[in-house]
Amino acid sequence: MLAARLAVEAEAVALPIRGIWTLEQGGRIPSRDGAGRRANPFGGEGHGVAVDTKVAYRGAWLPGLVVARGARNGRETSGRYDGGVATTPPRPMTRSPLTRQSFLVAALLAAPLARADGLADLRAALARLQAQTPLKATLDVKTIERHGEGADAIEKQGQASVNLEDGARGLQVLYARDTLARMEAEQRQFAHDPKAKTPTVWALDKLETHEIAPMASAASTLSRNVDEMPFKGEKADTWNGKPARQLTFSIPVTKLPEQQRKYVKEFDGTLAIWIAADGTPLASEMHVTVKGRAFVVVSFDAVDENSATYGVVGDRLLTLRSENHSASSGAGEHGDQRVTKTLQPQG
């Protein structure tokens, strides 16, 4: 809007006329005085140019008022005009020879801002990142779970690694022989002692297919989220000390399974994505809070947070690090879980 207004005003200054009016859209420029001449409320002859939907006066929008510049007794004047009566006395006005250039420069500077569209840039970047570049990587996972409180609390910690390969044959998850051996030993121990610690098994339980795939190729998951979540807006920001843009989306309650939604009384969810100048995703953060009641007397609340950082290899958008933290309480119970996944590309 600013660029359009400046461009019109700059053009008007260059016209061979003796006065300029900036009017409301649909407003009327004073037509002619009793002598049949173009009327200028401040004296002299003049013409007008209507722009935008409001009236500008000294940089401020004043509905119902007209800004005028005209000639009177050979000198330029300026002031306000309202319903045929000059409400601000005419005063001498000097036009700088750089006026036109200044307006044009301002219009050129404002134009890129007016055209900026972070959402379109993000969509274009995700469309480019088709994940055709072959990938070999190591995926590490660490998990910490805690259920209950006090002396009765149960805590589990796990850690494990798998290898990923993605290429012409699709995504493959490879388990090293020593990893398989540890899983076997832990399962045997657990069969004899239900309280035995099984860190490898606990960690690998968190690596379901729908969680592994976005690590190797994040574009499709981000694209689906962008399509399904209402866009709230964008703002200039920084990421790791470098300029970036932050795009914000609302997460609808429909993202919850239908069976769970009937118990939800309050829901709030947001997704923020930081992008580079060309729209490439740099990082994202998701935050969801839920409050509800089940079986009339049981109330509950839950928080789910997920942060991710991204990197690009060829035409593949990788999730280099993903951390999920979830906490819930209800019916006198409390649970807390944190799962961190790290991807290390090879070669």
Q: Whole-prediction pTM value?
A: 0.66
User: Is the confidence at residue 290, as pLDDT, over 60?
Assistant: yes
Q: Name the average pLDDT for the chain.
A: 75
Comparing 238 with 84, the larger pLDDT belongs to: 238
- Of 61-75, 100-114, 152-166, which has the strongest mean pLDDT? 152-166
- Are 74 and 98 found together in one domain? yes
Nearest partner of 68 among 80, 59, 58, judged by Cα: 80
pLDDT for 96:
47
Contacts of 126 (CB under 8 A, 6+ apart): 219, 222, 223, 226, 279, 281, 317
- Are 125 and 108 found together in one domain? no
- Are 97 and 130 found together in one domain? no
- Are 133 and 255 found together in one domain? yes
Backbone angles phi, psi at 189, to 5 degrees: -65, -40
251: tokens are 């997460």
- Domain of 10 in residue numbering reads as 2-115
Comparing 72 with 292, the larger pLDDT belongs to: 292
User: Which of 99, 115, 131 is the last residue before a domain boundary?
Assistant: 115
Please tell me the least confidently modeled range out of 35-44, 195-204, 251-260, 334-343. Answer: 35-44
d(CA 21, CA 12): 9
Counting the structural domains of the chain, the total is 2
- Are 85 and 201 found together in one domain? no
Cβ atoms < 10 Å from Cβ of 196: 12
pLDDT for 23:
36
CA–centroid distance for 243 within its chain: 14
- Are 129 and 111 found together in one domain? no
- Are 242 and 102 found together in one domain? no
| Confidence band of 98 (pLDDT split at 50, 70, 90) | very low
User: Which of 115, 147, 175 is the last residue before a domain boundary?
Assistant: 115
- Are 74 and 188 found together in one domain? no
Nearest partner of 129 among 251, 271, 275, judged by Cα: 275
User: Which of 115, 131, 147 is the last residue before a domain boundary?
Assistant: 115
- Are 62 and 194 found together in one domain? no
- Are 300 and 181 found together in one domain? yes
- Are 167 and 284 found together in one domain? yes
User: Is the confidence at residue 175, as pLDDT, over 80?
Assistant: yes
- Are 133 and 72 found together in one domain? no
Query: What is the secondary structure of 74-100 as a DSSP string?
Result: TEEEEEEEBTTB-SS--EE----TTHH
Instruction: Assign 225 to helix, strand or coil.
Output: helix
